[in-house]
Structure 1
Amino acid sequence: MRTQVGIIGAGPAGLMLAQLLHLQGIDSIIIERKPREDIEGTVKAGVLEQFTVDLLNEIGVGDRMMREGHFHDGIELQFSGKRHRIDLRGLTGGQRITVYPQHEVIIDLVNARFNTGRDIIFNVSEVSLHDVDTKEPKIRFKQNGETHEIQCDFIAGCDGFHGPSRLAIPDSIRKEHLHLYAHGWLGILTDAKQANPELIYSNHDRGFALLSTRTSTLQRHYISVDYHDDIANWSDDRIWSELHARTAMDGWTLPDGPINSKNIVQMRSYVLETMNYGRLFIAGDAAHTVPPTGAKGLNLAASDIKILATGLAEFYKSGSEDILDRYAEIALRRIWKAERFSYWMTSMLHRNPNHDSFERNIQLTELDYVCTSVAGSKTLAENYVGLPIQWENKSLIETK
């Protein structure tokens, strides 16, 4: 097989890249280890920045999102028994967030791919990358017991943290950063009424809680737990008891209902600074992960892809490799700012059992400052709705 861009991974990053390239007349082949029903059926959160919403509309896959998504102009922070609303839209000149699950984004992107007349090669195994430091890189894989090879000009590694792409960069060159948090998130999907028109982030003496929504009848809620804990230790009654306790307000009751699914995930931050090597470019979760507190995962993938697609389009149009050469530099500015914001939100909202009374009061005072200071509220708001891509090394003030 021969193509211009070989894409490993049919997650949001790989699918968005393929669609952007298609609109520029650039050919691509996507391979994916999972079957279609798995990537479309795995329920994941989706808080989309204005940038991501605009990009999905730009590439022609935003119609269903605009019909079915939940548009939020703010979020609420709860601590010391009170709630405080952060007016995202008012503080950022009209920007907002859209709650639209990641698997729905994938469904829209898969349909768009097939509508272009191009396929996705599902159910592949033993994926390996070859000659990535030359102008003729190759991807080899197996499907149905047969070995196949894709010859291409470029490879986009969009295959997540456990995929083979980033490991194709030599150990001596690959620069990585990993931070593990003491917190895990226990998440549930529940058939219940909507708890609140906007997301609620709660810092409570018993621990963190987040109330979010999927539809008018399906909700996604979280509580912080020890990430070593076993989900078998958490009965439905115990989960609801904690959610009620951590979000309690006078005159308000959290609606509950049957729990459809529950799991515990570890909180971590990861950054791969070596985002390109030869003709290999790493994007999305393969290049970075963030704790979900800041809602940045899918949004960082979208900005990576916008930068990479722009660089590839420039290359095929004029032969210039300026943006491709600066891909990691441009992307990392936004990545590190999103990592900083996610780390800050996690530290501010989660109880640390090792904190003494002084540190606990500093945490509560930080929350109070953010909610009562215009400057503090605006800092949270502009980071939450998403900072712009900085194409040149200038200050954000100059680029706005």
Structure 2
Amino acid sequence: MKKIIAVVRREFVERVRTKAFVISTVLLPVFMVAMVLLPALMMSGGDRTSRVALVDASTTNLGQRVSQALGSEKIGKGADAKSRYTVQVFPATGDDLAKVRDGLIAETGFSSSKKKDGWNGVLVLTDETLATGKLAYYGGNVGSLEAMSKLQRVVSSALTGVRLAKSGVDTALLKEAMKPADMDTTKVTDGKQTGQSGTESYLIAYFMGFILYIAILIYGQQTMTSVIEEKTSRIMEVLTSSLTPFQMLLGKVLGVGLAGLAQMGIWGGTALVLSSQRLPLAGMFGMSADAAQSFPIPSMPPGLLVVFLLYFALGFMLYGALYAAIGAMCNTIQETQQYAIFVTVFIIVGFFAVFALIKDPTGPLGVTMSYVPFFAPFTMPVRWSLTSVPPMELVLSLTLMVLALLACVWLAARIYRTGILMYGKKPSWGELWRWIRA
């Protein structure tokens, strides 16, 4: 046991001391914090009131209706919400339209430091606007597709109201009748509300599947590469004089797995803290409670984090053992591609199964794949996050995972003990079968 622990300690320390491990471990939490704070800060400070000069050359007083519609637009919600547009109407006729328009354009497009009372844009309305919807806008913010889309939407709504009023339709009544539904979604598990919305459940499921997919590929490849490097440098010949190949294999897989588990724990803990401490974080940066609710990182229950880390550890050790066996069979990284593709296919299928589970977490496909050890690390945590999973199903899935892990470690050890001392050409499938039977 002491020899296995020594190998585990060496593999763990060798990875956590590398610059790549430290940088990646720190960068993702920093990225999470940026994803939490930047959108809220941009929403609170980047969306400013626009000063719009409205040139009304229509004969139906269209400018007043459009001005009222623009003035009713707000930035944010609540009593302290600011107006999105400050509008001033400039009447014009067909004869002096060009003069009024050009005079206002001359006062447009300046920064606030150069001209505080300048216009952000000039909107021109004519009789043709009401008939065909054609209008012109001149401004310094025309490159912002979002700003132009919002402006076009408000003007279109005002034009619709004017057209309906001319036809004798009560626009206020029609607006009330056409008001869209606003549905709030809340996840329910075992008859109890969890407090998670549908969006949060989806984000958690996708996040877990993606992180597990990336981690298994990265750390599995590291295990395989480590075996090839030690085999090429002939260190294996020295190590086999002190401990058995099975002890080396188990220690290597556990050591690399613990390094990955430590990284996943740091990332998951960061997500848990950020999601549970939204209001204090908003207060630290002077943001409102509404801005805190817009944080894109959803809340992650502690129980889900435990299930995710448990399946991550079992899944990684299962795939890590297979990658280690592949490394023992080959002499170079290029040779591993022929065998590694079979392991990679299982990982890819497990990842894409997440999307099927998100669509129907209680369907027969998701339930069946939760019991297949090669796919369970991806599917069971996702099922747990999206729906209620009976405890016996979780226990059965974990039991099958442990049994499959032992079988894979046994199989990998049979290949590993012969392959680590085999040099030259890569073995054929018949030779691999003889290694296993030997």
> Please, what TM-score do these two structures have when normalized by structure 2?
0.19
Name the one with the larger strand percent: 1
- Larger Rg over CA atoms: 2
Name the one with the larger helix percent: 2
